[in-house]
A and B are shown apart, each in its own frame.
Chain A
Amino acid sequence: MNIVVCVKQVPDTATERKLRSDDKTLDRDAADGVINELCEYAVEEALRLKEAHGGEVTVLTMGPDKATDTIRKALAMGADKAVHLVDPALHGSDALSTSYALAQTLKKIGFDLVILGSESTDARTGMLAAMLAERLGTPQLTLANKVEISGAGITVQRVTDYGFDKVEASLPAIVSVVEKINEPRYPSFKGIMAAKKKQVQTFGIADAEIDAAQVGVANAWSEVADFAVAPPRAAGTVVKDEGDGGVKTADYLASKKFI
């Protein structure tokens, strides 16, 4: 089975994240890049499926040069090879154009199953899996906390507000996973050393037959109109307990419609 895991490099949530003043896109140079946490769960699930059913795990990343670190991390966990989609024309692509670029690349490299984290910690749109499925004409099985493969069929347990749904489809398919699905492994010493020798293929937009007029900040369907630094937190309301602290607290919560 040919499994492709889409992996994204995101700014470290522990560092201060900034937007660029010129084109209002994320300033990826200003913060340390780390693998998006949910992508680690996606890699782990791909590795487990490979261990159970055989096949190959390919990491697919779209991002600037420094996203190589994130690719190596996924390879160190045990993925077999990687494709890095990197091109200045892709800078500032929104979710819609990112899904187009990734779909074009996936058509080139082929897949039986694509696994993604359900969202990234930077943009948090959570839409990519659905968009990819639409563009590729495959079933989408999103928010999975359990994945099972049998023959050409796939079944996932989809997390919902009321519990879970059981969703079945045939391969090829697109799956997005939530953090409850597994516990990602740490890269082992041998894994890290072996990752250095694994093949990372670099794709530009021409290689993936991506139309430059459909990607990049200028062609994005969504636009950051303006942004400002979050205002410092205002002083809170102090409730002084004069024997009626409980009532005052309840009144306050009721006034804010919490209760």
Chain B
Amino acid sequence: MDFTLPESAQAVQRGIAAVCARYDMDYWQRCEAEKRWPEEVWAELAKGGWLGLAVPEEYGGGGQGLLELTVATEALSASGAAGGSAFTYVLTPGFGALTLARHGSPEQRAALLPGLAAGEVETCFALTEPDAGSNALAISTSARADGAEYVINGQKIWITGVQRATWMLLVTRTIPAAEAKPRTNGLTVFLVNVPEAVAAGQLSYRPIPKMGANTTPSNMVFFDDLRVPATSVIGEVHAGAVVLWDILNPERVLLAASALGGAEVALRVGVAYAKEREVFGRAIGSNQAIAFPLARVKARIELARLTLYKAAWLFDRGLPCGTEANIAKLAASEAAWEAADAAFQTHGGMAYSLEYPVARLLTEARIGKVAPVTEELLLNYLATQVLGLPRSF
């Protein structure tokens, strides 16, 4: 067994870290406080080819897979972006590039992938609805065939990055959930040109005020007789579940990577403070009550990373990775939360001051326990799908 990362992944680790080295924790603090997209980092990532890692080389990309995206997300997050802000990276290199590279038609690939590789075109992903979050198969946004077009109506919630996206990967029902047999049947994924749909008055969105991850807004999105050509279907009509799993598993993996990077930042911040802060004449880190929680976080981070990289490795080989992706997501978001909490406790009262990064790290870590999937659902998957326990719902 060889635990050495492939050279491509090592290159990603070093390359992203070099870019991010010029943008410190204060930079990410300011982006969050000003609720602004990290334009400077983004431009550098685009220039270096880091946004197009998963785009095939023939379209100008790096020709890499989920493992390299995972390492990239983790490095970006660990540099100071932390969980929520690193999500910026998942939207286009993950949702857009990875999905179209795998499932896009030749025309879709030719039209979109070069722009995605160059970082000129961005994407977002729309699945969840006010009445269908955890129960994603129950979505009701409908797509009805009308000649060479589809007409889409419905509403989505928690759709992040719509403002910058040229293209939205939109999950709809072409067969209503109640009539679909099995329930996974009748899903269809569309590519929607966001600016055009907005200009036509067929798509509108409203940002949701939120407690963190404000570098990129999350939105309510409304579709009102949105007309899209039939050629904009990704994969097959009614068979969108195949595409969907290939979005959701990488999403779990990449958000686990983002959480893991957040855990690494929080641990770094906590350890630095524990070494430097003196109370009763000695560094507080010499007290085991402070040291042990930090040490435990270190163990959790290393354990989570093993399953995370394994999940990405499986995905890249076309092997089933659902179990590993779910375990990685669970372990990484727990590590992130525990790390942020330990950093918080280590900082004592100063943690509550917004002049320190701890409050932001705590907020960023908390979202990982419920998004893009709740811990309860992850545990449910393991209980029913892996352990074969009876379903409760």
Asked whether B18 lies within 8 Å of A186 as measured between CB atoms, the reply is yes
The complex places the Cα of A186 from the Cα of B48 at a distance, in Å, of 7
Asked whether A187 lies within 8 Å of B48 as measured between CB atoms, the reply is yes
Contacts of A196 in B (CB 8 A): 7
In the complex, which residues 165-218 of chain A have their Cβ closer than 8 Å to any Cβ of chain B?
185-193, 196
Mask: chain B, 1-29; 1 = CB below 8 Å from A; 0 = not: 00000011001101100110000000000
Contacts of A190 in B (CB 8 A): 49, 62
Q: How large is the interface on B (under 10, 10 to 19, 20 to 34, 35 or more residues)?
A: 10 to 19
Contacts of B321 in A (CB 8 A): none
The complex places the Cα of A192 from the Cα of B53 at a distance, in Å, of 13
Count chain A CB atoms within 10 A of each CB in B8, B11, B14 and give the residue with the most: B11
Closest to A189 in B: B49
Asked whether A189 lies within 8 Å of B12 as measured between CB atoms, the reply is yes
Asked whether A189 lies within 8 Å of B14 as measured between CB atoms, the reply is no
Closest to A190 in B: B49
Return B54 CB to nearest CB of chain A, in Å: 11
Asked if B44 lies at the interface with its beta carbon under 8 angstroms from chain A, I say: yes
Contacts of A191 in B (CB 8 A): 48
The complex places the Cα of A188 from the Cα of B14 at a distance, in Å, of 10
Asked whether A188 lies within 8 Å of B15 as measured between CB atoms, the reply is yes
Asked whether A186 lies within 8 Å of B15 as measured between CB atoms, the reply is yes
Per DSSP, chain B at the interface is: helix
Contacts of B19 in A (CB 8 A): 186
Question: With A192-B14, A193-B8, A196-B7 as given contacts, are A186 and B44 in contact (CB-CB < 8 Å)?
Answer: yes
Asked if B315 lies at the interface with its beta carbon under 8 angstroms from chain A, I say: no
Mask: chain A, 75-100; 1 = CB below 8 Å from B; 0 = not: 00000000000000000000000000
The complex places the Cα of A187 from the Cα of B47 at a distance, in Å, of 10
Asked whether B11 lies within 8 Å of A193 as measured between CB atoms, the reply is yes
Return A185 CB to nearest CB of chain B, in Å: 8
The complex places the Cα of A190 from the Cα of B50 at a distance, in Å, of 9
The complex places the Cα of A190 from the Cα of B7 at a distance, in Å, of 12
Asked whether B7 lies within 8 Å of A188 as measured between CB atoms, the reply is no
Asked whether A189 lies within 8 Å of B15 as measured between CB atoms, the reply is yes
Contacts of B11 in A (CB 8 A): 189, 192-193
Contacts of B7 in A (CB 8 A): 193, 196
Mask: chain B, 44-70; 1 = CB below 8 Å from A; 0 = not: 100111100100000000100000000
Asked whether A187 lies within 8 Å of B62 as measured between CB atoms, the reply is no
Closest to A69 in B: B14
The complex places the Cα of A196 from the Cα of B8 at a distance, in Å, of 10
Return B33 CB to nearest CB of chain A, in Å: 26
Contacts of A186 in B (CB 8 A): 15, 18-19, 44, 47-48
Return B87 CB to nearest CB of chain A, in Å: 21
Contacts of B48 in A (CB 8 A): 186-189, 191
The complex places the Cα of A193 from the Cα of B62 at a distance, in Å, of 10
Question: With A193-B7, A196-B7 as given contacts, are A188 and B47 in contact (CB-CB < 8 Å)?
Answer: yes
Closest to A193 in B: B11
The complex places the Cα of A173 from the Cα of B50 at a distance, in Å, of 37
Return A95 CB to nearest CB of chain B, in Å: 29
Return B316 CB to nearest CB of chain A, in Å: 16
Asked whether B62 lies within 8 Å of A189 as measured between CB atoms, the reply is yes
The complex places the Cα of A186 from the Cα of B19 at a distance, in Å, of 7
Count chain A CB atoms within 10 A of each CB in B48, B50, B53 and give the residue with the most: B48
Question: With A193-B7, A193-B11 as given contacts, are A187 and B18 in contact (CB-CB < 8 Å)?
Answer: yes
Closest to B52 in A: A189
Closest to A196 in B: B7
Contacts of B44 in A (CB 8 A): 186
Return A39 CB to nearest CB of chain B, in Å: 15
Asked whether B50 lies within 8 Å of A189 as measured between CB atoms, the reply is yes
Count chain B CB atoms within 10 A of each CB in A191, A193, A196 and give the residue with the most: A193
The complex places the Cα of A235 from the Cα of B14 at a distance, in Å, of 41
The complex places the Cα of A196 from the Cα of B48 at a distance, in Å, of 17
Mask: chain A, 11-51; 1 = CB below 8 Å from B; 0 = not: 00000000000000000000000000000000000000000
In the A-B complex, list the 9 residue pairs whose CB atoms are closest, starting with the nearest: A192-B11, A188-B48, A189-B49, A188-B49, A189-B62, A186-B19, A186-B48, A186-B18, A192-B15
Beyond known contacts A189-B50, A191-B48, A192-B15: 10 more, CB 8 A cutoff: A186-B18, A186-B44, A186-B48, A187-B18, A188-B15, A188-B50, A189-B49, A189-B53, A190-B62, A193-B7
B interface residues (Cβ-Cβ under 8 A, vs A): 7-8, 11-12, 14-15, 18-19, 44, 47-50, 53, 62
Q: List 7 A-B contacts (CB under 8 A).
A: A187-B18, A189-B49, A189-B53, A190-B49, A192-B14, A192-B15, A193-B8
